[in-house]
Each structure stands twice: as C-alpha cells, then as structure tokens.
Structure 1
C-alpha cells in the first residue's frame, strides 16, 4: 500500500496545506506553528532535504505515487549507533488505517539493518493516542516521561519517551 522513497524537491507542494492545518500539525514539530507562507515552508523543506543530520523518506502510496507524509531519523549518533525516529502523516484521509504502524515497521528495518543502529528512540505527545498505539504495536517500549514538555492549544502536556533496541526488533520480527 505504501512505499518509502527519498523526498523530491517538487513534493514541497503537499506541505503547504499540511503545515497550515492545525489538526495535522497539533502534535508535530514546533516549527510548524511558526511557519505558514510558501517561502517559509520552502526554506524549511530545503533545509530538510539538504540536512546531513537527518535521514528522510517520503511516504508514498504505492499505486499512485501520491505523497501522504514523511518519516525518518534525526539526532543521529554514529558513535552510539542511535537515532531518533519521526513520523508525519499529513494527509488525514490515511489516519487510523494502520499506515503509521506499517511505516514504523519498515523504517525500523531500514534503521537497524540498513544503517546499523543499535537503538532507536522517539518522543510522542501523550494525547496522541493513535501514535502511542502504533509505536507500541511496532515494539517500542516506554522509557520515561518529559513532564509538561509540550505546549499546544493553550495547555501543556507530557511527552512520552519510547525506544526499541535492535535485539528487541529482531525478536519481534522472528516471532511473527
């Protein structure tokens, strides 16, 4: 149903609507609340494509090649063989259909076997129940809580820290 492929420069057009939709960006990057014009979004998008600190993939529908979001790794530490995972599904039509779980499973395989990471972590806003379910289903384990670390829609909420290790992923994969 989906394919992970390198983001293309022309794909920026999708982000114009996504970044300007409060429901889509509610639990996403803080920068999305600070940018809205095409020039600001273009500048951010170009920095993402050119970053040597991130590995990014577009999430494309297999049958139409339509971009529905993006995913990848940031805060990469080659010394520690670790990275922080992120996922953004901008097209709301595809929320709640298991795509987040599928993307997470695919990106973990890329991270552990392609990039040789030992540990992949993430933070997720506690009210983002769908993401918490997807990450748990993919094998992430809760490690801790950043209390009142995120301010959205006039209130603070906690961020949950989760991680998965390569041996946990291998065990999960072989038990399926």
Structure 2
C-alpha cells in the first residue's frame, strides 16, 4: 500500500496545496497555521531536510510512488534513547483507510529496531479522534493531557500525551532481532 523513504528536495511543492487546506492542517504542526506562501513552505521544507535530530520520511504510494504525506521522529535523543512521533497525511483521499496506522507501526519498528530507541511519544489534539484511534491501534498508551494546549479556530482544546516503550512494543511484536 505505502512505502516510507527519505523526503527529497523535489517533494517540497507537494506541500503547497496541503498546507493551504485548513482541514488538512487543522490538527497538525502549529507552524503550518502561519504558512501562507510557497516561499514560507519552501523555507520550512528546506529546514526539515537539514534537521539532523529528526527522521523525516515521505509516505509514498507503492503503485505510483506519489507522495501523500510525511512522518517520522523528531527531537531524537541518543542520551535518553527517545523521540517524538509525527505524521501528516496531506492527501485527504487516503484518510480513514488504515494508512495512518500502517505508517505509525512502521515508524515504531524503525525507531525501536533500527535506531535503538527505548521510548517514543507523541501529542495528539483531543478532537482528532482518528489520530487517537490510529495511535492506540499501533500500541501507544495515554500518559496524560496538556490542558488547553492547542488553539484552533479560536477555541482551545487539550492535547493528549501518548507513548510506547520498547519493552511494550517487543511484547506485542515479539523479540527484535
């Protein structure tokens, strides 16, 4: 269904319509809310490609190699063996079809089995029920909440903090080889 591979410089233009779509970015990066021009998006995208403390992967359709979003791990800490999961599916035609869960499970595998992490966390907007469901299906558990931590459409809502530990992931998936 999908393949994860490094983002390429030529992928930047794919983000123009996505970031311009209020529905697509509603629960995504706060930085997306302020981006209005291709130049702003290009600046963000170039910085994303250079970020050495993140694993930034494009989500590509296997059949056509078309980019439909990106996902990965940010704030990677070798000392704490941890990172923060993120996902953004810009192509709305692929929402609600299991792509988010599949991508999440693969990024967890990469984080634990390839990058040697012990803990992967995320925050998700409470109204983003599809996101909460996908993360729960991938093994994340709720740790707590950040009260009124996000403002969208002039309204504040809570962010839910979720995480999965390597031992929990191994128990569900079997030993990492």
Give the structure-2-normalised TM-score. Answer: 0.97
1:146 is matched with which residue? 146
How far has the Cα of 1:173 moved from its partner? Answer: 1.1
Contact residue 71 and residue 86 of structure 2 kept, 8 A: yes
**1:114 & 1:48 partners in 2: Cα distance?**
21
SS of the residue corresponding to residue 174 of structure 2 reads: helix
CA deviation string 1:98-147 (max 9, x = no partner)? 10000000000000011000000000000000000000000000000000
1:83 is matched with which residue? 83
Pair 1:113 & 2:84 matched: no
**2:139 & 2:108 partners in 1: Cα distance?**
10
- Structure 1, unaligned runs of 5 or more: none
CA deviation string 1:20-46 (max 9, x = no partner)? 000000000011111121111000000
SS of the residue corresponding to residue 31 of structure 1 reads: helix
**1:51 & 1:145 partners in 2: Cα distance?**
27
How far has the Cα of 1:3 moved from its partner? Answer: 0.2
Note the 1:22-37 alignment, pairs <5 A: 22-37=22-37
SS of the residue corresponding to residue 122 of structure 2 reads: strand
2:96 is matched with which residue? 96
2:72 is matched with which residue? 72
2:128 is matched with which residue? 128
How far has the Cα of 1:174 moved from its partner? Answer: 3.0
**1:110 & 1:66 partners in 2: Cα distance?**
22
SS of the residue corresponding to residue 151 of structure 2 reads: strand
Contact residue 53 and residue 77 of structure 2 kept, 8 A: no
- Structure 2, unaligned runs of 5 or more: none
Aligned length: 175
How far has the Cα of 1:79 moved from its partner? Answer: 0.3
1:10 is matched with which residue? 10
Note the 1:152-163 alignment, pairs <5 A: 152-163=152-163
